[in-house]
Amino acid sequence: SNQVTVVGAGLAGSEAAWQIARQGVKVRLYEMRPVVKTAAHISGNFAELVCSNSLRGASLSNAVGLLKEEMRRLDSVIMASADKTCVPAGGALAVDRDLFSQEVTERVTGHPMIEVVREEIGEIPSDGIVVIATGPLTSLSLSRSIANLTGEEYLYFYDAAAPIVHKESIDFDKVYIASRYDKGEAAYINCPMTEKEFDRFYEALIAAEAAPLKEFEKEVYFEGCMPIEVMAKRGRQTLLFGPMKPVGLPDPRTGKIPFAVVQLRQDNAAATLYNIVGFQTHLKWGEQARVFRMIPGLEKAEFARFGVMHRNTYINSPRVLKQTYQLQSRETLFFAGQITGVEGYVESAAAGLIAGINAGRVARGLDPLVFPRDTAIGALAYYITHAAPDNFQPMNATFGLLPSLGEKIRDKRLKNEKISERALASLTEFMDTSLDQSVRAR
Ligand code: FAD
């Protein structure tokens, strides 16, 4: 049968190659390291973890824990390698980073259907079945080639994201729904502040601790997206005339315009997630939680993801990608990993897993598959291809992406476990009915 080319042997590319090879389809896997380096990787190993050695939460009351369990059932090489090289880490799955990436390298390189080529790919191959999995630090020439294909405006080089909170954690007694000047449907959640509340918040914001900037990330501010804390340091007025301006937003309960307003905008179609408008930030995550919970209504906010600002090459998946990880305009071209706008090691590998299964299927003359939306892996694929395209930001696995349960369960842990139970049942059924024998996990 047809051969598939995979570019990049990171978390996503290694997984994709594995999933293609298990179908009996030949893979040529290109990895530029160690010949060409990136600004973050230090070795020549596959699936190198560039920062933390944690693959995050292990339990099924945690969305990334569910995602990992789904991947295990789908015979993920990343999960098998992680489970084999794990180190004690409480409720998380952490690994010995060297043993882990060595393990992935050995398994992938050792697969008889996979040929590894240590070479940089400068341009998207013009024909054949191809998976691009070159990650947030995709080399420049390939980035240019991707931009040519997707259109310049649909390829991003930086991720400057505002925090996203779960709607159910917002205190609706303190906020109100309105759009500025009453325009259109009332769409925003508005958190009003008195002058005293603003002053307290302001002082905390300018004193909060930012995450250190990597050398290769320093350019980020020149892209026209300034972190909220940097803006704040220019003076109170910058905020009051910027992201916190109250004009046109009278509080319906008083009829008065508050001193300042923080707005939240709907982030997913199910309206379970809201982002804080204009609050892209480089503060440490703990500091974000502390300072942003000073905003009236957000005292108990739970964050689906914190704000980040870093170098991150990714495409506007809602505009250009299908839920099967195929490019809309060229169905033999797949994207996988962080470059599709998923965020995180496990999420990147999960994207590689679906892209790999589907690339292998296309090579075998079969239809690609859409994974069920009530699984974590399927929900992530759905999110990145259906999120609001104008404000598309990379996303972690979180329960907010899965359809809610029919019943109301108070206890959060219990509720999450039920969602996981439903997801795993759905995955089993999907594997039985849609995956043929060669792809079902043993
Ligand atoms: P990668 O793992 O980066 O794999 C891409 C591969 O493609 C690399 O091996 C690269 O050498 C290769 N490549 C690139 N261009 C070419 C080319 N033209 N030809 C051939 N090969 C090429 N996520 C977390 O969950 N936890 C963290 O702590 C974390 N920290 C991060 C820190 C930094 C500095 C960055 C940039 C990201 C971090 N991430 C983290 C986000 C993300 O999970 C990782 O970047 C993850 O490695 C992404 O997986 P990937 O497979 O998409 O890309």
How remote is the CA of residue 133 from the centroid of ligand 1, in Å?
9
Mean pLDDT of 208-221: 71
For residue 401, the number of C-alpha atoms closer than 13 Å in the C-beta half-sphere is 31
Please give the angle made by the CA atoms of 60, 62 and 64, to the nearest 5 degrees.
100
In the structure, what pLDDT confidence band is assigned to residue 152 with cuts at 50, 70 and 90? Answer: confident
Would you state the structure tokens that stand for residue 201, as one six-digit string?
Answer: 């918040």
CA distances from residue 391 to 159, 212, 385, 396 in whole angstroms, order as listed: 11, 25, 13, 16
CB contact set of 238 (below 8 Å; sequence gap of 6+): 231, 232
- Regarding the beta carbon of 134 and ligand 1, being less than 6 Å apart is answered yes
Higher-scoring residue by pLDDT: 294, 2:
294
Q: Does the pLDDT at position 288 exceed 90? A: yes
- Regarding the beta carbon of 341 and ligand 1, being less than 6 Å apart is answered no
Segment among 30-44, 56-70, 202-216 with least mean pLDDT: 202-216
- Regarding the beta carbon of 10 and ligand 1, being less than 6 Å apart is answered yes
Q: Which residue has 């250190």 as its token pair?
A: 212
How remote is the CA of residue 365 from the centroid of ligand 1, in Å?
31
Would you state the structure tokens that stand for residue 304, as one six-digit string?
Answer: 């689906």
Cβ pair 41, 101 in contact under 8 A? no
Segment among 27-41, 126-140, 149-163 with least mean pLDDT: 149-163
CA 22 to chain centre: 26
Cβ pair 419, 186 in contact under 8 A? no
Given this model, what pLDDT does residue 438 score?
A: 63
How remote is the CA of residue 339 from the centroid of ligand 1, in Å?
9
Mean pLDDT of 133-151: 94
Given this model, what pLDDT does residue 440 score?
A: 64
CA distances from residue 291 to 179, 233, 285 in whole angstroms, order as listed: 25, 15, 10
Burial of 369 (0-12, 13-18, 19+ CB in 10 A): middle
How remote is the CA of residue 48 from the centroid of ligand 1, in Å?
8
Given this model, what pLDDT does residue 310 score?
A: 77
Pairing relation of β-strands 4-7 and 27-30? parallel
Please give the angle made by the CA atoms of 109, 113 and 119, to the nearest 5 degrees.
50
- Regarding the beta carbon of 51 and ligand 1, being less than 6 Å apart is answered yes
Q: Which of 28, 137, 285 to mutate to test the pocket of ligand 1 (most atoms within 8 A of CB)?
A: 137
| pLDDT tens digits along 305-314 | 899 887 889 9
Strand-pairing partners, residue 188, are: 178
How remote is the CA of residue 5 from the centroid of ligand 1, in Å?
18
Q: What is the mean pLDDT of the chain?
A: 93
- Regarding the beta carbon of 349 and ligand 1, being less than 6 Å apart is answered no
Beta strands in 222-329 (DSSP E): 260-266, 273-276, 303-305, 308-315, 326-327
- Regarding the beta carbon of 110 and ligand 1, being less than 6 Å apart is answered no
- Regarding the beta carbon of 145 and ligand 1, being less than 6 Å apart is answered no
In the structure, what pLDDT confidence band is assigned to residue 334 with cuts at 50, 70 and 90? Answer: very high
- Regarding the beta carbon of 313 and ligand 1, being less than 6 Å apart is answered no
| pLDDT tens digits along 160-187 | 788 999 999 999 999 999 999 888 777 8
- Regarding the beta carbon of 19 and ligand 1, being less than 6 Å apart is answered no
Higher-scoring residue by pLDDT: 42, 16:
16
The closest residue, in CA terms, to atom 9 on ligand 1 is: 10
Pairing relation of β-strands 303-305 and 273-276? unpaired
Mean pLDDT of 78-82: 98
Higher-scoring residue by pLDDT: 266, 16:
16
Q: How many Cβ atoms from other residues are within 10 Å of residue 200's Cβ?
A: 13
Q: What are the DSSP calls for 374-385, one per residue?
A: TSHHHHHHHHHH
- Regarding the beta carbon of 340 and ligand 1, being less than 6 Å apart is answered no
Q: Does the pLDDT at position 441 exceed 80? A: no
Would you state the structure tokens that stand for residue 72, as one six-digit string?
Answer: 């295990």
As a whole-number percent, the residues of the chain with pLDDT over 90 amount to 78
Q: Which of 134, 214, 219 to mutate to test the pocket of ligand 1 (most atoms within 8 A of CB)?
A: 134
Would you state the structure tokens that stand for residue 95, as one six-digit string?
Answer: 């690994």
Separation of alpha carbons 435 and 62, rounded Å = 26
| pLDDT tens digits along 393-402 | 899 999 999 9
CB contact set of 211 (below 8 Å; sequence gap of 6+): 282, 283, 284
Would you state the structure tokens that stand for residue 154, as one six-digit string?
Answer: 């649909």
Segment among 24-28, 86-90, 177-181, 379-383 with least mean pLDDT: 86-90
Separation of alpha carbons 20 and 225, rounded Å = 39
- Regarding the beta carbon of 144 and ligand 1, being less than 6 Å apart is answered no
CB contact set of 402 (below 8 Å; sequence gap of 6+): 63, 373, 374, 375, 376, 379, 419, 423
Please give the angle made by the CA atoms of 299, 301 and 303, to the nearest 5 degrees.
150
Q: Does the pLDDT at position 415 exceed 90? A: yes
How remote is the CA of residue 77 from the centroid of ligand 1, in Å?
17
Given this model, what pLDDT does residue 303 score?
A: 96
Task: Fill in the amino acid letter for 261.
Answer: V
| pLDDT tens digits along 61-76 | 999 999 999 999 999 9
Pairing relation of β-strands 114-117 and 27-30? parallel
Gap between the terminal Cα atoms of the chain: 23
Given this model, what pLDDT does residue 223 score?
A: 44
- Regarding the beta carbon of 101 and ligand 1, being less than 6 Å apart is answered no
Q: Does the pLDDT at position 159 exceed 80? A: no
- Regarding the beta carbon of 8 and ligand 1, being less than 6 Å apart is answered yes
- Regarding the beta carbon of 344 and ligand 1, being less than 6 Å apart is answered yes
Q: Give the containing element (helix H, strand E) for 160.
A: strand 155-161
- Regarding the beta carbon of 32 and ligand 1, being less than 6 Å apart is answered yes
Given this model, what pLDDT does residue 212 score?
A: 80
Given this model, what pLDDT does residue 442 score?
A: 44
| pLDDT tens digits along 347-398 | 999 999 999 999 999 999 999 999 999 999 999 999 999 999 988 889 999 9
How remote is the CA of residue 13 from the centroid of ligand 1, in Å?
10
Tell me the pTM. 0.82
